[in-house]
């Protein structure tokens, strides 16, 4: 498999960009603005305004309408920065740009167009019934950046071949929907150019509206700032902590806007905007003091507001340790991001053979509606590594009380109703929310609390277990008693999709196994389906261990279990 060998610079330090399928070039804001002006005659502010009327969030289930699947990584989730952070730390990067393009193939229905660039993507699309649209541009990390560069370099009357194929699709089938990870600024420029060049009045997109994607798709949505929370009078010693939590919730951005209280944990936003080192230090220390004084909490959890899959989270932060808090403030200054400091969670847990699940269920919106069931997460430390589909009838097999499961789904319904009710529609067509079922101690004692922890209001990992589940049920004659699990795996170098499929997809009674994606040396995904979600979970963990023992994977949760706190 062809990979890139280049150098990137981070904080004046050269880093080897090795083993990636794409290059490290990323368009700057100024370069993107210049491209927008050249292609559309609009600056980025004009693009944002135009996209609100010309790009229409359109909920459509897989196969319901023709689709173009554009599996680009997104700047909104700082995918490039996440890979560079791994290089800085000396840990294996994910190569998110490559794996997202490759795994997006599984969101395509037969006949859909799937856009990509790399060998893992080619192998994935070769095993599907979708039509590949290959982009011969590997210098850029983001697929959207590669396509915009091609568009700018093409004569106006002779667009490059992949662009010409997309334009032909839009002209022949104007109702085509574009499925993408997120409607970020570069995607807006690209889709507006495609729409206008194709001569369409509107272009349908399977992505959330701009306000959902950019304003609300952040952990800070659920937390008041330190300054806002400090305006509340100090609580009485005997005050109900849940009443205080609700009072603070009324000062969160979400509740101020929509008047809806969402289930949440104690915590505060630590905003980077306009803060120098002294201000950031004061905010971090202020958040820690509020958690100690108001809720009696000894430990916190420090999270980037827009990180991927639980990465770069600092757990178990001692809230009375000035040095530890100063280090968090320095981290926020260095990465130039907003963070939240929330209660450290001691998740309730449930064991299956060889693994202990934390109780962090997720619920989802699919095609603009509250999706059936939900998922329990497979995690390594604080990082998401897979999903198991459950419903109210089977959640108890993972230690989740059905009443709690109904409450989790009600919380997601409240979020959906806020965005799409009361006479307003923000174009919320897809997304997921992670919940915690956990003890946090302090004034809450040993009673478990249930709260939203993370908003993933874009494409998310659960889309793949749901797509895989639909395929498995179809293969079993539409049997809705089939359940499924998907798992992120870490292939060794040289383990491409063909090799992993040959090793994994063996017939077994009552089990339906598929390899969805493999990016050699980086990232892969496997799936197992069967008549019981607990059994599916145990089977997929056993599959990972078998592939690890065979020398095809770098790691295995069963081989080297790690703590699952987050």
pLDDT reading at 2 higher than 70: no
Average pLDDT, the chain: 93
β-bridge partners, 10: 13
Q: What is the pLDDT of residue 131?
A: 98
pLDDT reading at 225 higher than 90: yes
Q: How many whole angstroms separate alpha carbon 113 and alpha carbon 165? A: 9
Q: Report pLDDT digits (tens) over 241-299.
A: 999 999 999 999 999 999 999 999 999 999 988 889 999 999 999 999 999 999 999 99
Q: How many whole angstroms separate alpha carbon 196 and alpha carbon 200? A: 6
Q: Are 293 and 250 in contact (CB under 8 A)?
A: no
Q: How many whole angstroms separate alpha carbon 180 and alpha carbon 56? A: 13
Q: What is the pLDDT of residue 508?
A: 65
pLDDT reading at 309 higher than 60: no
Name the DSSP class of 440.
-
| Yes or no: domain 461-550 corresponds to CATH 2.60.40 | no
Q: What is the pLDDT of residue 31?
A: 97
List the one residue out of 159, 185, 17 whose CA is nearest residue 88: 17
Neighbours of 558 (CB within 10 A): 16
Name the DSSP class of 404.
H
Q: Are 541 and 376 in contact (CB under 8 A)?
A: no
Of 301-315, 349-363, 443-457, the least confident: 301-315
Highest average pLDDT, of 66-70, 153-157, 420-424, comes from 66-70
Q: What is the pLDDT of residue 546?
A: 95
Q: What is the pLDDT of residue 377?
A: 95
pLDDT (average), residues 398-402: 97
For Cα atoms 123, 124, 129, give the angle at the middle one, nearest 5 degrees. Answer: 115
Q: How many whole angstroms separate alpha carbon 554 and alpha carbon 93? A: 13
Q: How many whole angstroms separate alpha carbon 425 and alpha carbon 508? A: 47
Q: What is the pLDDT of residue 559?
A: 58
pLDDT (average), residues 520-547: 96
Q: Are 271 and 283 in contact (CB under 8 A)?
A: yes
pLDDT reading at 154 higher than 80: yes
pLDDT (average), residues 53-72: 95
What is the band of 562 on the pLDDT scale with cuts at 50, 70, 90?
Answer: very low
Q: What is the DSSP string of 485-520?
A: EEEEE-BPTT--HHHHHHHH---BTTBEEEEEEEET
What is the band of 313 on the pLDDT scale with cuts at 50, 70, 90?
Answer: confident
Q: Report pLDDT digits (tens) over 17-47.
A: 999 999 999 999 999 999 999 999 999 999 9
pLDDT (average), residues 482-487: 97
List the one residue out of 343, 554, 365, 353 whose CA is nearest residue 436: 343
Domain spans, the chain: 7-207, 218-344, 461-550
Q: Report pLDDT digits (tens) over 158-172.
A: 999 999 999 999 999
Handedness of CA 279, 184, 145, 195 (dihedral sign): negative
Cα 26 versus chain centre, distance: 20
How far CA 140 is from CA of 37, 116, 129, in Å, comes to: 20, 12, 27
What is the band of 138 on the pLDDT scale with cuts at 50, 70, 90?
Answer: very high
Could you write out the three-class secondary structure of 81-140? HHHHHHHHHCCCCCCHHHHHHHHHHHHCCCCCEEEECCHHHHHHHHCCCCEEEECCCCCE
Cα 208 versus chain centre, distance: 13
Element (H, E) at 537: helix 533-549
- H helices of 316-401, in order, are 322-335
pLDDT reading at 339 higher than 90: yes
**Encoding tokens for residue 61?**
């289930």
- H helices of 216-276, in order, are 226-230, 241-249, 253-258
pLDDT reading at 419 higher than 50: yes
**397 Cβ contact partners less than 8 Å away, ≥ 6 residues apart:** 390, 532, 533, 534
Looking at domain 218-344, its CATH architecture is 2-Layer Sandwich (3.30)
pLDDT (average), residues 54-78: 94
In this structure, what are the phi and psi dihedrals at residue 549, rounded to the nearest 5 degrees?
Answer: -60, -35
Handedness of CA 102, 104, 107, 113 (dihedral sign): negative
pLDDT > 90: what percent of the chain?
Answer: 82
Q: How many whole angstroms separate alpha carbon 517 and alpha carbon 488? A: 9
Q: Report pLDDT digits (tens) over 80-103.
A: 998 998 999 999 899 999 999 999
Q: What is the pLDDT of residue 310?
A: 55
β-bridge partners, 178: 68, 205
pLDDT reading at 12 higher than 90: no
Q: How many whole angstroms separate alpha carbon 55 and alpha carbon 204? A: 6
The distance between the two most distant Cα atoms of the chain, rounded to a whole number of Å, is: 73
Of 117-121, 348-352, 485-489, 507-511, the least confident: 507-511
Q: What is the pLDDT of residue 501?
A: 95
Q: Report pLDDT digits (tens) over 118-135.
A: 999 999 999 999 999 999
Q: Are 397 and 533 in contact (CB under 8 A)?
A: yes
Q: Are 67 and 109 in contact (CB under 8 A)?
A: yes
């Amino acid at each position: 498999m062809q990979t890139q060998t280049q150098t990137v610079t981070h904080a004046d330090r050269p880093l080897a960009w090795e083993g990636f399928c794409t290059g490290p070039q990323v368009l700057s804001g100024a370069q993107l603005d210049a491209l927008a002006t050249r292609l559309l005659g609009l600056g980025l502010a004009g693009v944002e305004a135009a996209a609100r009327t010309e790009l229409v969030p359109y909920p459509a289930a897989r196969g319901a309408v023709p689709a173009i699947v554009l599996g680009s990584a997104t700047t909104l989730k700082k995918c490039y920065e996440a890979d560079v952070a791994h290089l800085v730390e000396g840990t294996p990067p994910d190569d998110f740009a490559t794996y997202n393009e490759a795994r997006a193939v599984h969101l395509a229905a037969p006949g859909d167009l799937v856009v990509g660039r790399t060998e893992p993507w080619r192998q994935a699309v070769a095993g599907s019934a979708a039509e590949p649209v290959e982009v011969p541009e590997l210098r850029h990390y983001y697929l959207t950046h590669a396509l915009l560069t091609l568009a700018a370099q093409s004569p106006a009357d002779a667009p490059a071949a992949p662009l010409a194929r997309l334009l032909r699709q839009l002209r022949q089938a104007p109702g085509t929907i574009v499925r993408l990870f997120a409607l970020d600024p570069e995607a807006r420029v690209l889709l507006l150019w495609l729409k206008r060049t194709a001569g369409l009045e509107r272009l349908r997109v399977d992505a959330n509206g701009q306000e959902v994607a950019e304003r609300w798709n952040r952990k800070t949505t659920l937390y008041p700032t330190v300054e806002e929370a400090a305006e509340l009078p100090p609580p009485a010693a005997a005050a109900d902590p849940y009443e205080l939590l609700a009072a603070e919730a009324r000062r969160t951005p979400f509740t101020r806007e929509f008047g809806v209280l969402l289930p949440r944990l104690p915590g505060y936003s630590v905003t980077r905007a306009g803060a120098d080192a002294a201000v950031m230090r004061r905010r971090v220390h202020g958040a820690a003091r509020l958690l100690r004084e108001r809720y009696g909490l000894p430990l916190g959890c420090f999270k980037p507001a827009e990180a991927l899959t639980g990465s770069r989270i600092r757990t178990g932060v001692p809230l009375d340790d000035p040095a530890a808090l100063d280090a968090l403030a320095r981290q926020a200054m260095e990465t130039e991001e907003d963070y939240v400091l929330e209660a450290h969670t001691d998740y309730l847990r449930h064991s299956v053979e060889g693994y202990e699940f934390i109780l962090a269920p997720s619920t989802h919106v699919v095609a603009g509606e509250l999706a059936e069931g939900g998922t329990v997460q497979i995690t390594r430390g604080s990082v998401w590594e897979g999903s198991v589909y459950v419903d109210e009838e089977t959640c108890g097999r993972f230690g989740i009380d059905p009443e709690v499961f109904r409450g989790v789904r009600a919380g997601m319904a409240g979020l959906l109703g806020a965005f799409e009710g009361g006479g307003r529609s923000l174009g919320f067509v897809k997304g997921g929310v992670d919940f915690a079922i956990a003890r946090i101690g302090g004034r809450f004692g040993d009673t478990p609390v249930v709260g939203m922890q993370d908003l993933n209001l874009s494409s998310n990992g659960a889309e793949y277990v749901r797509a895989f589940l639909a395929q498995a049920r179809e293969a079993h004659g539409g049997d809705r008693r089939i359940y499924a699990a998907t798992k992120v795996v870490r292939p060794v170098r040289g383990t491409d999709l063909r090799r992993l499929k040959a090793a994994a997809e063996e017939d077994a009674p009552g089990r339906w196994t598929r390899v969805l994606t493999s990016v050699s040396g980086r990232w892969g995904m496997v799936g197992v389906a069967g008549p019981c979600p607990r059994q599916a979970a145990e089977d997929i963990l056993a599959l990972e261990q078998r592939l690890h023992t065979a020398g095809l994977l770098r790691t295995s949760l069963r081989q080297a279990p790690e703590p699952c706190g987050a």
